[in-house]
């Protein structure tokens, strides 16, 4: 159920990126897809009644309980990487949009198709 809703979020982002004419809308669609994928990967590692993968003082004496309760740290680490990279790619895409707006005076992708210069 939650997985399917997460996939629906991805499909909304994909629709926005494929159908809209505005360049900033396309960037927003790509961002929505990124959120959906990150959320999905974190959900894959969730355990009902789980704890965060941080070893506390009490857990050192009782390591077996911690091992059976902790959520998956591997997708969290990789999603951390992906979030930071998504910020970099967002900056790159938005700078392309700003440059295009300065040159053509519009965000409409059907009107910037004709090459100039």
Least distance (Å) between residue 28 CB and another protein = 5
**Separation between Cα atoms, residue 66 and residue 55, nearest integer Å:** 8
47 torsion bin: left (phi>0), alpha (psi -120 to 50), beta (else): beta
Least distance (Å) between residue 40 CB and another protein = 10
Question: Tokens 């059907």, residue?
Answer: 110
Closer Cβ to another protein, 4 or 114, answer by number: 4
Residues 78-117 that bind another protein (CB under 8 A): 78-81, 83-92, 94-99, 101, 105-110, 117
Residues 11-30 that bind another protein (CB under 8 A): 11-16, 18-22, 24-25, 27-29
Question: Tokens 């902790």, residue?
Answer: 70
């Amino acid at each position: 159920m939650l997985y399917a809703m997460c996939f629906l979020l991805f499909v909304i982002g994909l629709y926005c990126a494929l159908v809209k004419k505005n360049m900033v809308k396309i960037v927003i669609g790509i961002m929505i897809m990124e959120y959906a994928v990150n959320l999905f990967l974190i959900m894959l590692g969730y355990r009902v009644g789980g704890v965060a993968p941080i070893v506390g003082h009490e857990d050192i004496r009782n390591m077996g309980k911690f091992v059976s309760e902790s959520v998956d740290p591997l997708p969290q680490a990789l999603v951390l990487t992906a979030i930071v990279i998504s910020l970099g790619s967002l900056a790159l895409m938005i700078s392309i949009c700003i440059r295009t707006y300065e040159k053509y005076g519009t965000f409409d992708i059907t009107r910037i198709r004709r090459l100039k210069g």
